[in-house]
Amino acid sequence: MKPWISPGEPQAPFSFPAPRWPVECEVIQETIGHIEWVPPKPEPFCPPMGPEQPMYSLSEEQGTTVYHSSPDLYHCPCFPTELQGSCFTRARVGGAPGPLSSPAAPLEGPQDTTLLFESRFESGNLQKAIKVGPYEYVLMLRPDLYTAKHTQWFYFRVQNTRQEPLYRFTIANMAKPKSLYGQGLRPLLYSQQDAQSHGIGWRRVGTDIRYYRGSAGEPLLFRLSWTVRFPHDSDTCFFAACYPYTYSDLQRYLRALVADPVRSRYCTVQALCRSLAGNSVYLLTITSPGGTAGKRVVVASARVHPGESGSSWAMRGFLDFLLSAHADAQLLRRLFVFKVVPMLNPDGVVVGNSRCSLAGRDPNRAYGMALPGSFPGVWHLRAMVQRVLAEREVMLYCDFHGHSRKNNVFMYGCDASGDGTGTRLHQRVFPLMLSKNAPNKVGHRCLRATCCRDSGNAVTVLLPELSLWGWVPSDPGAPQFSFSSCKFQVQKSKERTGRVSMWRLGVSHSYTLEVAFSGSTLGGKRSHFSKEDLESLGRLFCDTLLDFCDPAPAKVGLHLAQGALVPLDHGDTDTVTVPQLQQCLVEADVLLQQQMGREPGSGGSWSDVSPSELESSTSGSDSSMSDGIPDDFHSPDR
C-alpha cells in the first residue's frame, strides 16, 4: 500500500461489508441502535459507599440461572477437535451458522417478573445471569475470547422490567482490584421507551454503588454492585460500562463521509489491512487537495483496546473538527497530512472484548514484534509510519485510550535518561498546552497570539499562576485535563506499546491520550463526561496542534536572565515577544522545578535527572503486563 493517496484524486467505489464474527459466536438478527442525547445538566458522581455487601454463592442451589450465553469454544462442530477452544480459526458474517439457541429462561406467565437478558449483539458482553432474589441478580461477564481474563467491559439488554421495585445487580467477576466505580462512577442506562417518547438517550444511573473483593475461597475477582429503578414497566433497557461505539457505528460514519462531495475532497478512506476475522482496519488520509510536498505528518489511532469506547467518541470529535469548514481546520489541512486509524482492533470491538484481539493477547503489547498474521492492525500501522518516516517528518503520534482507574484526561509521553534539557521539556509542552485549552466550557483560552475565535484581533497572553494542573484549581475555568497526572517515564513493560514503539522509530512527540471512564474532578467538579465532552476533547486536540506549531509570537510576561527566559517578578511590566512554544517551555521548566523542590529560576540541567525522579509515581497505563504473542498461534487463512 502506498503511504497515502492524495485526497481529491478519483477513488474507486468503497464498500463497507457487514461485520464478520468467529464461527462459534451466536448473533441475534435484530439491529441494535441508540439515539444520541446530551443530558441538560452534568451528571454527578455517586457518593462513595463502604465495601460491606452480602456475598452470594453462584451455585444454582442458591439461585436460578436465567441467562447463559457464551461461545462453546470446546465443543463447536465448526472446526477440528484438536483446535477446539485453543485459538481463533475462522469467521463469517453473522457468526455461528444455523438456528440460534435460547439462552434466556422462558417466562412462566404474564405475572412472572423475571428479567430477560440478551448480549448476543455487536459489542455485547454478558455471559450469565443468576436470579438470587425477586429483584436481585448476580451477573458474570464473558472473558475476552480465547482467554480466561480481562473482564471489565459490559453491555447487555434487559426486558420485562417493572417500574416500582428497586433492583440490585452484582457483576461478580470484575478483574481489576481498583476501579473508578469505587470513586463514584455510575453505570449507563438506556431506555427505549424514553428514547422513543422523550428523546432521552444514555444516562448515568445507580445508587449504593460498591466495588469490592469477592469472598474468600473464590478466585481473585472483584464485584461491582449497584441498585436501580427502571423508568417504565415492560420496557427494553440496556446497561453499559461506557457509551457504546461499535464497528458498525464507525462504518456508518465513514459511509457518510465517502458520500459527502465536500469532505471527500480532502479525505480518502482505504483499508490499511484486514483483521484476523477479515474485517477492514480503516485508514483515513486527510489533507488539503493539491499535493503533499513539504507537509509534515500527524498520525492518530484509537480503539486498540475494544472496551475503551470513550476513545472512539474523542476520535469522532477529532475527525468532525478536522473535516469541518472551520478556519482552523482548513489551516490544519493546509499544514499537515493526517493519517488516522480510528479502530485498530475491530474484531475485539465486534465481539465485545475488553482488551484483546482474536489472537487472545493485548495488541498494544505487540508493536515491533508482531507478525502481520498475528496482529495485523498494529503491524501495518507501524509499517506505514516507517514508510512515511523515510520520506518526511512525522511530527506527532497519538493513540487514544480510555482509563478505568484514574479520573480526568491526561497523557503519557516518552522521556529517557540522558535526554537533553530541551528535549525533556519539549515532551511536556503538548500536554501542557492541551491542559490550557481544556477548560470545562467556561470561557475560551487561546494560546495563540492571534485568537482562533477572532482572527482580526491580537491578544496579549500572560503566564497564569503556575500549578501542576496548568491552571490554578480555584480558577472557574479549571480544565478537565490533568497535567499533574501526565507521565513520561518509559517503563520496560511498555516497550511494545504504540506510544513507545513510534518514539523508538523516530517520532519525537509520541503520546497516549487517556480519557477516564468517569469524568472530571478538577475545578471543584465531580461529574461524568458526556458524549459531547468526549467529542469536544477531540476538537481541543486539533486546537492544541495549531498552538504547538503556530510560529506567531505571543507577548508574555518573561524576561531574559543569563540567556534563559524566566517569569517576571510581580510588578515588572516589561514584556518580550517570544514564540508561544517558548512560553510553554518556560512554564514546563518551572513546573519541574516545583516538582523537584527547586527554587524557580535557579537554573540547572534536567539531562542528568532520571525520569523516575521527575515523577512521584511510576504507575503507567491502565493495563496488565504484556501477554506476549502465543507461541502456538498460527495465522488463519482468510
d(CA 235, CA 62): 28
Q: In what order do the strands lie in the sheet with 222-228?
A: 64-68, 128-133, 136-140, 167-174, 222-228, 207-213
d(CA 375, CA 371): 6
- Asked about 218 being catalytic, the answer comes back as no
**Residue 637 burial by CB count (10 A; 0-12/13-18/19+): exposed, middle or buried?**
exposed
* Helix (H/G/I), strand (E/B), else coil: 333: helix
Query: Letter for the amino acid at 496?
Result: R
Radius of gyration of the chain measured on its C-alpha atoms: 25
Q: Which three cell numbers stand for residue 88?
A: 481463533
Contacts 24+ apart (CB under 8 A), 132-135: 132/56, 132/62, 132/63, 133/168, 134/165, 135/162, 135/165, 135/166, 135/167, 135/168
| Pairing label, strands 394-403, 510-516 | parallel
Q: Which three cell numbers stand for residue 83?
A: 483446535
**Residue from 118, 514, 535, 587 carrying the catalytic annotation:** 514
Helical (H) or strand (E) element with 61: none
Judge whether 265 and 285 are in contact, CB under 8 Å: no
Helical (H) or strand (E) element with 423: helix 421-437
What angle in degrees, to the nearest 10, is found between the helix axes of 310-322 and 531-549?
Answer: 50
- Residues with active-site annotation: 514
